[in-house]
Chains A and B, each alone.
Chain A
Amino acid sequence: MKKALYFIAIVLLASFTLFASGAQEAAPAEAAPQAAPAAGGVTEITFLCNSVKPYDTAMPVMVEAFEKANPDIKVKVEYLPTKSIYEVVEVKLGAKEATPDVLFVDAPLVAAYVNKGYLAPLDSYYSADELGQYVDVCRNYGSSGGKLYAAPFVNSSQVLYYNTRIFDELGIPRLSKDPKDRLTWEQVVEIAKKCTIDKDGDGNPEVFGLGIAQISRPYQMLAIPESAGGQPIGEGGLTVSGVLTDESWVKACQFIQDLFNTYKVAPKGVSASDMLAYFPSEKIAMLIGPDYNHLAYSKNADLKWDYAPYPYFEGGKPVTPTGSWCLGINTASKNKDAASKFIKFLTLYPGCIDWFQIDGHLPANKKTLEFVASNDKYTKWPFDIFALIDYESKNTAVARPLTPGYLEYESLLTTAFEDIRNGSDVKTTLQNAEVQIDRTLRKYK
């Protein structure tokens, strides 16, 4: 018995020693010394990049071009899906690890990351002219307290893509591209009902009328309640009390639920990443999706498609999603100089134009917008889509809410939208989401 007690005492002592030593606060990240180049004079930087299309195919091209122009810098790219990027950033940058050096930062998360000390300020790496290249609204996304913390990489808008072969077969006329003639959601539902085809009557349509690209994600879905007159967040960005249970939200979310459960024109059980493949494989006749999809669709010779403006609620106002990714430098990075060179290569002229031509996102750089405006290619189909998305970004775009608790807000709202899509009671789901979001935002007050 005595021996057992001695043994337990040793275990406890050793455990306390181990975790107590691990519980010491790490040295302040700002003091992280910059690493000298490795032998041979090459600095390696780690880049945390989104793995969704088109980044996975476009980024290697840009990395190769950067390394050719900067033979003393090597870029090691780590590709991760969107959700995993958020989690890895919380784990690694939360633990003040030196890598990744450069990371994708979702625009509404800049404020949160700055608050947590994850991002290094970038102003010292830029001249005034260089900073002036960024589209003003995009530069604001990447700034906090008047300083730039994340360089705007891409912007975004959304359109309604539709399959012209299915439309022609069903005798549905082509849709107008003029924003003044944009369809209402109610009209979209009527067309979607015609396009939903269940040949064998087994309850599983071979073709659904409508798909929503980033289904259940607030980036995609917020525009719908906002079109009905709803606000995305309460005053100060630290509460949603009374916001999500507003009439406009209930109406919009009921409409979303009806798409999947009453009208049954949209497929349930399909994730956002799988939905991207549904339009080119003709499993859906219409897709509410991001602007940059046009590049992939234009290369698909078998797909007959066209585009139209993003819908809105009758009696409401047209609202389109916007905002996208920025590039930031980890506060604890030991290679900030090399990291800043890489970021500037991707986001400033002329690299931003090279990126745009292989990626297709709405540009976040004014010089790229000038390039589009002065280039004949973008007056012809399908690249004339830029005229529409340029109009939307100037007239109907509404950014996601700026709140330090955006990650919590997005995670809980995604769950709520998914539950609504699966048929849960709309009011109860929104009420519960309000309570949960407010509980998680309390730590920022």
Chain B
Amino acid sequence: MTCSKKERYIPYLFLVPAFCGLLVFRIAPIFSSLLDSFFTVSYAGGAHRKFCGIENYVYALTDPIFVRSLKNTLVFTLVVNPVEIIWAFILALMVYRPGKGMGVFRTIFFVPFTISLAITSTIWGIIYNPNGGFLNSILSIIHIGPMAFLTSPKEALGSIVFLVSWRCVGYWMIFLISGLQNISRSLYESAWIDGARAHQSFWYITIPMMVRTFLFVIVADTCQNFLMFTPMYILTQGGPEQSTNVAMYEAYKNVFIYADRGIGNAMVITMIVMILIVVGLEFKFLRSKEA
């Protein structure tokens, strides 16, 4: 059946509203940030905005605080990604098959994600309180000394990794359940007939068939974790000793506290480039593994 010239453009017309939203709220602000990153503001005798070329990028990349925050962001992402995805996959494997009560367990695992990150951070701040917080109370019952959690530079980032993972694991589990349920049963039946054991079916059927789902989850999780900022803002303000200062929080401070929009935008653009590089590498690695 051939389409007329007019009919060929109809699908694009349906895409226009979503495209406009994407343009206004995603693409245009990126270009605005890019433009702003080449300007600086001087407040000597009133506010003066002037073009400064790549000066803001040089400042950001030679600022030891921002460089440290980039390192913290990378470490945070490299730790949280596997923790969340492995944890979500284990939960997905436990509950993806239809059965009595499975829906209840899926709901229980998903519930933490329904709580906003700000509220989650506040609640975990109380749990982590070094003076009689919930966790230290439990530790004292089993005769273990109190832990510093968010007040220790060695423990603070790990504490935030745990709370973020706890909240988000249910969300990624949903995608992984969908991926698992899309694997044809006939593949497992054929393997069983050929004498494959459970672990062989898992490694040679489940994992390869899940590569596309993993690709989506890993890329989306990477983007989310690179931009993670709320728990640091609410609980630690980047401390103690810059151990939880992430790039997004550093950019936020430069724009909204130090009134240095140009430098803040340069930091954001730097982060966008980093995300594109990391996501590109993930695509390259996982695409080559696709069944």
Chain A positions within 8 Å of B, measured between CB atoms, are 11, 14-16, 18-19, 22-23, 86-87, 90-91, 94, 112, 115-117, 200, 202-205, 267-270, 404, 407-408, 411, 414-415, 418-419, 422-424, 429, 436, 439-440, 443-445
CB pair B258–A408 under 8 Å, yes or no, is: yes
CB pair A22–B32 under 8 Å, yes or no, is: yes
CB pair B151–A268 under 8 Å, yes or no, is: yes
What 17 additional pairs, Cβ within 8 angstroms, besides A15-B27, A443-B260?
A15-B30, A19-B32, A19-B35, A87-B256, A90-B259, A94-B259, A116-B47, A200-B140, A203-B145, A269-B149, A270-B129, A404-B43, A407-B257, A407-B259, A419-B239, A422-B240, A439-B63
Contact mask B102-142 → A, CB, 8 Å, 1/0? 00000000000000000000000000111111001000100
CB pair B47–A117 under 8 Å, yes or no, is: yes
Name the distance in Å between A282's Cβ and chain B's nearest Cβ: 14
Is B290 an interface residue, CB under 8 A from the partner?
Answer: no
Question: What separation, in Å, do the CA atoms of A423 and B151 have in the docked complex?
Answer: 9
Closest to A418 in B: B239
Chain B positions within 8 Å of A, measured between CB atoms, are 23-24, 27-32, 35-36, 40-44, 46-47, 63, 65, 128-133, 136, 140, 145-146, 148-153, 237-241, 253, 256-260
Question: What separation, in Å, do the CA atoms of A22 and B29 have in the docked complex?
Answer: 10
CB pair B146–A204 under 8 Å, yes or no, is: yes
**A-B pairs under 8 A by CB, number:** 115
CB pair B140–A115 under 8 Å, yes or no, is: no
Question: What separation, in Å, do the CA atoms of A424 and B238 have in the docked complex?
Answer: 14
Interface of B is mostly: loop
CB pair A269–B256 under 8 Å, yes or no, is: no
Question: What separation, in Å, do the CA atoms of A411 and B42 have in the docked complex?
Answer: 19
A117 / chain B contacts, CB cutoff of 8 Å: 46-47
Q: Which of B31, B133, B151, B257 contacts A16 (CB 8 A)?
A: B31
- 5 closest A-B pairs by beta carbon, nearest first, are A19-B32, A18-B28, A422-B240, A269-B130, A202-B140
Question: What separation, in Å, do the CA atoms of A419 and B131 have in the docked complex?
Answer: 18
Question: What separation, in Å, do the CA atoms of A269 and B152 have in the docked complex?
Answer: 10
Question: What separation, in Å, do the CA atoms of A407 and B24 have in the docked complex?
Answer: 32
Name the distance in Å between B278's Cβ and chain A's nearest Cβ: 23
Q: A14-B23, A18-B23, A204-B131 are in contact. Are A419 and B32 (CB under 8 A)?
A: no
A90 / chain B contacts, CB cutoff of 8 Å: 256-257, 259
Question: What separation, in Å, do the CA atoms of A270 and B129 have in the docked complex?
Answer: 8
Ordered by A's residue number, 30 sampled pairs between the chains whose C-beta atoms are within 8 Å are A14-B23, A15-B23, A15-B27, A15-B28, A18-B24, A18-B31, A19-B29, A19-B35, A87-B257, A91-B256, A115-B46, A116-B43, A116-B259, A204-B132, A204-B140, A205-B131, A407-B258, A408-B258, A411-B253, A418-B237, A418-B239, A422-B152, A422-B240, A423-B240, A424-B153, A440-B258, A440-B260, A443-B44, A444-B44, A445-B44
